[in-house]
Every structure is written in C-alpha cells, then in structure tokens.
Amino acid sequence: MPNPLMATYARLPVTFHHGEGCRLFDENGKAYLDAIGGIAVCALGHAHPRVTQALCEQAGRLVHTSNLYGIARQRELGERLTSLAGMDRVFFGNSGAEANEAAIKLARLHGHARGIATPTIIVAENSFHGRTMATLSATGNRKVQAGFEPLVGGFIRVPFDDLEAIRRIAENSDEVVAVLVEPIQGEGGVRVPTDGYLRDLRALCDAHHWLLMLDEIQTGMGRTGRWFACQHEAVTPDVMTLAKALGNGVPIGACLASGAAAEVLGPGTHGSTFGGNPLACAAASATIETLDQEALVARAADAGERLMASLRERVGGLDGVTEIRGRGLMIGIELERPCGGLVNRALDQGLLINVTAGHVVRLLPPLVISDAEIEELVDGLGRLIGAFVASEAA
Ligand SMILES: *Cc1c(COP(=O)(O)O)cnc(C)c1O
C-alpha cells in the first residue's frame, strides 16, 4: 500500500505502542527515555492515571455538546486558568495556532474600535506562532512562510530582545495595536531574553496603549518553573495564549485576556465548534489539578536547575558547544555546527531529543522526570554530544 499520509513530516523510523511517565515503548517493546514529551505537551508524562481517569469518566458521561449551550467543565477550567494567570476571561480553541488566531483577531478588533484603519502587530524575528495563514505570517521564519504567499499583512518584525527597535517603531507609526512575542523563543532555539525585557516591554506597551500579547504556548503550564514564564518578571500581559501542555496531550488551546482586552471579543466575533468541549476541558482540569497537587511547577524549577548544572558540567566545557541556556525544564544546548543527525543517533540509544534552529539540541522533558532519569539523560547526551564534537575536531 502506498503511504496514505501527506508527506508533511519527516518522521523518525519508530512507532510507539504505549508509554508510562517519561518512558515510551515501541512496537518491539524497546524502551525510550522521552526528553521531548510530545514537544512540551506531556508535562505529566505518558498515561498519567489521573488524566486517564478524568477522560474515561467524562467520555462515559458527555464528550461534546457545542458552544450553543453552557458547558460546566469549560467554566470550571476557565475559572481555574484565569485565577492562576491573574487574568479575567478566556476563549477556548483546539490548538496553539487557534489560540494565536484568537489573539490576532482580538488585537485587530481592538484597533478598529480605537479608529486605527490598519491595525498592526509587532512580532519578533526567529519567532514561531503556528502554521495557519495568520500565524505563519506572524512567525519569524522564512521556511515556514515560503510558498504560501500572499502572507497575511499587518505585522511588523523586529529583532527579539531588542526594545530599542520597538521604540523606533513607536516613534514612526500610529498603526501599532499590539506586541506579540514568546517569553522564551522555543522553535527559534530556546532563546532567553535579557532579564527585564518583559517588564520593560510591559511599560512600553502601557505608554503607547498597545496590548502586550504573550505566546506562552510552549513556556506555559509550569515548564519554566512558574505557571507562566511572564511571572518570573511579575508581568501580566493583556493577552496570553496557551496550548501544548494544557491538556497533557488532549488537544486544547486557550486565549486569555485581562482588563479592557477581555471585553473585545463579543457575540458573533469568533467561535469554534469543538473549542472547550467537555472532554478536552476535563483533561485540562485534571492536568492543572495534578500539576498543583504534585507540586510539579516547583519541581520543574528544581529539576531544571539540576539538569542544567549537570549538562554544564558534562558538556559545557567541550569545544564545539557554544552555550547551554534555558529556564526550568526548557533547555537548549547550542552547538557550533548543524547537529540534526544527533536525533537519530539518540533514538538508536533509546533517547528522545529534538534539534531546533539547526544546531540547538532542545530538551522539553515531562515535569515528572526523576533525578535518576535526569542522570540517565545527561549520561546519554554527554556521550552523544562528546562523540559529535570530537568527530568535528578530527
Ligand atoms: C507549538 C507552538 C505554537 C503552535 O501550536 P500548534 O498547537 O501546533 O498549533 C505556537 N506558538 C508556540 C510558541 C509554539 O511553541
């Protein structure tokens, strides 16, 4: 049979059968240590019993009704999320891209209400915001955009972590309505901005009546050691988007808003058939409850420090390793040369890692990773990276 799947992914030669915690098992029973967690999705690891139980119970009672009706599970999740974020309201979709679409639409509506004819959103180089037309247009990566022109307009791009560039735009444009950035760039290579960047950006947005919109799709839900990465700088955005870890693998995205921004999307302005259905909301509520009760946000901070310190000790000093950076359990190891081949070599050894931006090994393990698993990860990576940079020197 020819492959019936569109060739959108260059898939690795493995198919998993089941998982437990940080382990995945392939169809032949071989075990893998998962240091990528379904791309920052499975924060509680695989097959967490509390999420399984919530899903089974909810599936047996009610999966979907549509947003024509009240959804108790959605309200419950909305209350939990807005209180964790210190924000006012939330719209639920089914993915990260959809959460960002909601944010972009909100910003445009807000701009038009202020009499701005061409509402424009400032976005960053090297950013990633999704694969739909508006979100790929917002994304700062030509590879994501190439071939899909005409792009959606209304975005101005600046270098990441460069407030001066944004100040210059403020002096020259009356059309800006919002700034949309990731607190730490994920796909762009785990790029952590200078301390104070978000705080200063918050002040700049306030001064110009712009919305500060943070894409926390990858950084959110505890991964960086706070519920949301903006909390490291005590910043509350006007709009925040979430997805990835929100449902521990069950598709769900959220666009949160605070203050005036929370009142922008009114009846008929936006919607989603599946968005926030009882099943997805049950998974997300169980995920949040478990993160909370098992103190996994604090654990992400501790485990991240331990992992970072061990990595620095083990590979930090090697020629060919440029930098090790990150926050909590979002860590990048930048190498001097492209290292995509490491992913396959790691797979052979039963280790699941990712390489992003060509030469950055990215680690996004489940927050439940144990100290022993951290040791195993550092050991495996140490050997792989050691051999890789040594082969370069030869
Ligand atoms: C993954 C990701 C997205 C897109 O999410 P999808 O669920 O794949 O649409 C958007 N922004 C960031 C920062 C991401 O990491």
Range of the domain at 371: 16-34+295-393
Residue 345 lies in a domain: yes
For residue 38, give the 3-state DSSP assignment: helix
Are 281 and 299 within one domain?
Answer: no
Q: Ligand 1 centre and the CA of 100: distance in Å? A: 8
Compute φ and ψ for 218, nearest 5 degrees. -95, -35
Is 228 a residue of the active site? Answer: no
* Angular region, 258: left φ>0, alpha ψ -120 to 50, beta rest: beta
Please give the helix or strand (H or E) that residue 349 lies within, else none: none
178, 156 Cβ separation under 8 angstroms: no
**Residue 215 known to be catalytic:** yes
Burial (0-12, 13-18, 19+ Cβ within 10 Å), 27 = exposed
Residue 45 lies in a domain: no
Residues with CB under 6 A from ligand 1: 95-97, 100, 128-130, 182, 186-187, 215, 217-218, 243-244
40 lies in some domain? no
Q: The domain spanning residue 158 has which CATH number?
A: 3.40.640.10
To test the pocket of ligand 1, the residue of 187, 217, 272 to mutate (highest count of ligand atoms within 8 Å of its CB) is: 217
Rounded to the nearest 10°, the torsion over CA 130, 133, 135, 139 is 90
Strands 330-335 and 360-363: antiparallel
Same domain as 301, residue 262? no
Q: Find, among 97, 354, 49, 364, the residue nearest to 221 by Cα.
A: 364
* Residue where a domain stops, chosen among 236, 264, 293: 293
Tell me whether residue 98 is in a domain: yes
Within-domain flag for 331: yes
For the CA of 218, the closest atom of ligand 1 is 15
pLDDT confidence of residue 231: 98
Whether 356 is in a domain gets the answer yes
Query: Is 286 found in the same domain as 303?
Result: no
Contact between 278 and 57 (Cβ < 8 Å): no
Task: Give the length of the chain.
Answer: 394
pLDDT of residue 1: 86
Answer yes or no: 105 catalytic.
Answer: no
What single-letter amino acid sits at 123? V
Q: Are 69 and 182 within one domain?
A: yes
Contact 360, 189 (CB under 8 A): yes
Could you tell me if 163 and 230 lie in one domain?
yes
Measured from the Cα of 131, ligand 1's closest atom is 9
For ligand 1, the distance from its centroid to the CA atom of residue 78, given in whole angstroms, is 20
Number of domains observed in the structure of the chain: 2
What pLDDT does residue 393 have? 58
- Per-residue confidence (pLDDT) for residue 394, from 0 to 100: 55
Among 247, 271, 293, residue at a domain's last position:
293
Q: Is 269 in the same domain as 337?
A: no
The protein residue whose alpha carbon is closest to atom 10 in ligand 1 is 129
Same domain, 273 and 300: no
Same domain, 280 and 365: no
Q: Would residue 9 count as lying in a domain? A: no
Residue at which a domain ends, from 267, 293, 319: 293
3-state secondary structure of 290: helix
174 and 302 share a domain?
Answer: no
Mean pLDDT by 10 residues, the chain (394 residues): 94 98 98 98 98 98 98 98 98 98 98 97 98 98 98 98 97 95 98 98 98 98 98 98 98 98 97 98 98 98 98 97 98 97 98 97 98 98 97 66
Question: Is the full-model pTM beyond 0.85?
Answer: yes
Give the atom of ligand 1 at the shortest distance from the alpha carbon of 130.
4
Nearest CA to ligand 1 atom 11: 129
279 and 307 fall within a common domain: no
> How far apart are the C-alpha atoms of 295 and 83, rounded to whole Å?
17
Q: Are residues 21 and 167 in the same domain?
A: no
Rounded to 5°, angle at Cα 23 from 22 and 25: 155
Q: Are residues 94 and 234 in the same domain?
A: yes
Q: How many CB atoms lie within 10 A of CB 369?
A: 26
Q: Residue 379 sits in a domain of what CATH number?
A: 3.90.1150.10
Ligand 1 center to residue 241 CA distance, Å?
9
Q: What distance in angstroms lies between residue 304's CA and the mean position of ligand 1's atoms?
A: 22
Q: Is residue 341 part of a domain?
A: yes
